[in-house]
Amino acid sequence: MHPMLNTAVKAARRAGTVIVRALPDIDRLRIETKSRHDFVTEVDRRAEELIIETLKAAYPDHGILAEESGAAAGNEWEWVIDPLDGTTNFLHGFPQFAVSIALRRRGRLEQAVVFDPLRDELFTATRGEGAQLNDRRIRVSRVADFDSALLGTGFPFRASDSVAQWVRLFERVACCTSGVRRAGSAALDLAYVACGRLDGFWETGLKPWDIAAGALLVREAGGLASDLFTEGDPLDSGNILAANPRVYGHMRAAFADIVHPEGD
């Protein structure tokens, strides 16, 4: 395992321990509302502190881009961190949340970790070396027919998000696939695309820490991950389309004439 990836795994596991230990006391946690349907707890903050502490101990000059503490300047290397992706799920005891850590060098994704602490599932990837689940090589699914594809998505939840646009996107795929799932953690959804549990995924209005690790996992597992509307970098826009190559093409065709509201 690459030394930087090994450090990220150590950080993710430390954060995961904090998250799991807090589950029995969910009803006693301090919860703050950052915006509509967007919450943060003391668990998010403690998990992020442990991740940053672990990463900085090994790489003190690296930059940090984290959900709760924002950005800290560094050199060409930058860690992109979501200490608890799926906070709302966590607060309800719904078992779908994860720790997400990625490393970028001059804007290019190099390392990725998505850790599900409840299932003890560790998804990892190093650029050019493939993706793994608990040290076993993973690949995207081989599903080719769109009517057999199982897709994942996320609902709009910020006031600025376009619900009408999401409905149009959903209508294009709901009736011509085997189903669409919304589980509430983009990081895990992308990890599931990487290991073949989902054949494709799309969502809009995300942040870099939601999708950085997952995007690299999908690409290293043989899939495609790009901006939903422009095919550019999804970390720049927050709008992502990820899938195995055949399903990616079907989704591109289905969404071809739907543009982002800002582009109207």
pLDDT tens digits along 52-66: 999 999 999 999 999
Rg of the chain in Å (alpha carbons): 17
At residue 150, φ and ψ (nearest 5 deg) are: -110, 120
Confidence class for position 37, pLDDT limits 50, 70, 90: very low
DSSP three-state, residue 2: coil
DSSP three-state, residue 209: helix
For the domain 3-138, what is the CATH superfamily, name and number? Fructose-1,6-Bisphosphatase, subunit A, domain 1 (3.30.540.10)
* Alpha carbon distance 192, 216 (integer Å): 12
Q: What is the mean pLDDT of residues 74-81?
A: 90
**Which residues carry a binding-site annotation?**
67, 82, 84-85, 210
| pLDDT at res. 32 | 56
| pLDDT at res. 36 | 47
Q: With 60 as the cut, is the pLDDT of residue 43 above it? A: yes
CATH 3.30.540.10 domain locations along the chain? 3-138
Domain 146-255 has CATH 3.30.930.10: no
CATH 3.40.190.80 domain locations along the chain? 146-255
What pTM value is reported for the model?
Answer: 0.92
**Which residues carry a binding-site annotation for Mg(2+)?**
67, 82, 84-85, 210
| pLDDT at res. 38 | 44
Distance from the Cα of residue 226 to its chain's centroid:
13
